[in-house]
Amino acid sequence: MQPGTIVYSFAALVGQEEMKKGLLLNAVNPKLSGILIRGEKGTAKSTAVRALAALLPEIEVVADCPFSCDPADITTMCSSCRRRLEAGEELPRSRRRMRVVDLPVSATEDRVVGTLDIERAIKKGKKHFEPGVLAQVNRGILYVDEVNLLDDHVVDVLLDSAAMGVNTVEREGVSFTHPANFILVGTMNPEEGELRPQLLDRFGLCVNITGILDPRERVEIIKRRVAFEEDPEGFITRWEGKQEKLRRQIVTAIEILPQVKIPEEILYLIAKIAIEMGVDGHRADLVMMKAARTMTALDGRTEVIPEDVYAVANLALLHRTRRQPFQEMHVDHEKLREVLAK
């Protein structure tokens, strides 16, 4: 997204509540490992992702750092910023909006992770790193449209970095590591092919979206889109009140999240849901727990209740429930309600 570009207001999006919920949860808690949005073309996937960035608070960065390090947090800094700070240097600061970085389907591994100049390292004994997309997107949003068409190895690298928060490049015995904390958002049209199950499972949350069938809502979409295209600035101004309310909700949730407690009985509920819904492994349990805590924070509370688990179960389980070949992804909500009722 280019600086100064006017984007559609997130608050003005009609319907697609599960998608909006999943994006907001990741905005509050990037440790959810991103979201995969599956749906047919023309269902506001790209619009929603770009609109999310306008909601997020400005971040303070080290002005001359290629990784946009946080000058107030030495634990997440790159090695260069850490050395400068420990040497007593005052790091130059600036503030800016969070970036949305687009990753093209044709992206190579070197373009994503960056490159090391091996010749310089051998001749001069100095590491020279040419930053890639993961350096540019640190503390931002990485948007991968048609993620199912991306090379599997590149997707693997992205998911590894999203989970660990760092990017490590190794070439000929020389390695370089830098912070890579970002919100990963992938979108795809299932008609064009699926992701491998191993890669699918690595996305924290997943949502299926379809075109809206209610005529009134479809008419409202048309009206709002026309209003935006005819007068973008006026449209943004009209929705600014609701946008600001969402911004405050996100900022408050980020502050509350570390204080949110999850009772042991809720952990047992999460485990029971994972068993009853037939998921493999333990990632679903962990994601449900993190998402439920984040949902609690978004609601302005500090203790998780069963309703929080139910609110996020679909997002955490959709791509993890066992299914037959060629069977559509779905979550059995009747069964889920039965487990909660017990």
Which residues participate in catalysis according to the annotation?
283
- Give the Cα separation of 216 and 223 in Å (integer): 11
Q: Is 75 helix (H, G, I), strand (E, B) or coil?
A: helix
- Residue 83 backbone dihedrals phi, psi, to 5 degrees: -60, -45
- Give the Cα separation of 248 and 245 in Å (integer): 5
CB atoms within 10 A of CB 158: 29
Sign of the Cα pseudo-torsion (209, 22, 250, 66, in order): negative
- Give the Cα separation of 291 and 29 in Å (integer): 8
Q: How remote is the C-alpha of 129 from its chain's centroid?
A: 26
CB atoms within 10 A of CB 79: 12
Dihedral-angle region of residue 16 (phi above 0 means left; psi in -120 to 50 means alpha; beta otherwise): left
Q: DSSP letter at 161?
A: H
Taking Cα atoms as reference points, which of 166, 152, 164 lies closest to residue 107?
A: 152
Burial class (CB in 10 A: 0-12, 13-18, 19+), 150: buried
